[in-house]
A and B are shown apart, each in its own frame.
Chain A
Amino acid sequence: MNRVATAPGRRMTRQKPSAGNRILGVLGEILITLGILLMLYVAWELWWTNIDSANAQKQVTQNLVQNIGDVKIGDDTEEDIDYGPAPVAEVNPGETFGIMYFPRFGSNGSHHPVTYGVGRDVIDNLGIGYYPSTQLPGEKGNFAVAAHRQTHGQVFWDIDKLQKGDKIYLQTKEGYYTYTWYETEIVQPSNGDVLLPVPHEPDAEPKRSILTMTSCHPPFTTRLRIIAYSELTDWRPLEAGPPKEIREMVKDATS
């Protein structure tokens, strides 16, 4: 057996390539480059956007906390006082007006700022966006918000994990609005009547205040929308301190 003949490449590496080979070589490099660019874009979308979003959310949360002033944390003594009906929150275009707390989300709960508007400028970086066409927190009707399910902070990643009795808290400069989850549904992306004062009932007069959270479904697609409904069940003024379930989270978010 002639071993040299079985490895012919070794002796020919320094030969000048023909024009056709060079064109093929460049074409190959361009294709490899495109492949790498696509992978980088996916990495950006799935990973980098979360970091960008976390930084931006931290920033607006800090600004909001500064505007609210000192947040009293309180203790158990003021737990069972009834503070009456919730006032309507004051919300101005463009501003970040609240922080939402989700004890169910993540391993230890999560919190995100809420900002007026659902454009890309808001939900791509600032966490939760408020649909300006819907009602305000404390108002009769539908307080509707949107956030990304995955990427850009994956704020509502665990939206499908909400169960009976789960609470969602909104802190504004007025106080703490407590919402209790009662229903989740999956709808088509065009199904805007989930944002009506009474979802799916165009002519109905709203009798209660609800919170509607919208996000993508299934995760990593935009095929459908997942809609989670909660009802306003309690309210406390800011001075009374946060409900005890989120005391640690509020301390963490506002320090």
Chain B
Amino acid sequence: MYAWIFRNLPGPIWLRIIEALILIAAIVLLLMVYVFPWLSQFSPFTESTIGLNTP
């Protein structure tokens, strides 16, 4: 999968390395900014309130 992506990136090898790094950075940013905040509402690990009268 990753080898296939790397082989199909355009350009010489040095450019493909840069492209791969940009891709990785973009995916990490996407996860950090959008996906994980959304995911965390299902996570039971961050409750710090108490009692039943919390919304």
Contacts and interface: CB of A to CB of B under 8 A. Distances in A.
B36 interface: yes
A215 B51 CA distance: 12
B36 A225 contact: no
B8 interface: no
B50 A149 contact: no
Contacts of A214: 48-50
Contact of B53 (A37, A123, A124, A195): A195
A227 B36 CA distance: 29
Contact of A146 (B39, B44, B50, B52): B50
A191 interface: yes
Contacts of B39: 41
Interface stretch (A113-121, A161-169, A235-243, A244-252): A113-121
Chain B interface residue number, banded = 20 to 34
A146 B41 CA distance: 17
Among A26, A118, A133, A227, find the residue whose CB has the most chain B CB atoms closer than 10 A.
A118
Contact of B48 (A37, A45, A123, A131): A123
A192 B45 contact: no
B32 A131 contact: no
Given A41-B36, A45-B40, A118 B46 contact: no
A34 to B, nearest CB: 13
Contact of B47 (A37, A194, A222): A222
B53 A192 contact: yes
A237 B43 CA distance: 42
A146 B51 CA distance: 11
Interface of B: 1-2, 28, 31-32, 36, 39-41, 43-55
Given A44-B31, A129-B49, A222-B44, 8 more contacts: A40-B36, A45-B46, A120-B41, A152-B46, A189-B50, A192-B50, A216-B48, A222-B47
Q: Give the top 10 A-B pairs by smallest Cβ distance, nearest first.
A: A192-B51, A44-B36, A216-B48, A133-B53, A146-B49, A118-B49, A29-B1, A119-B55, A222-B47, A214-B50
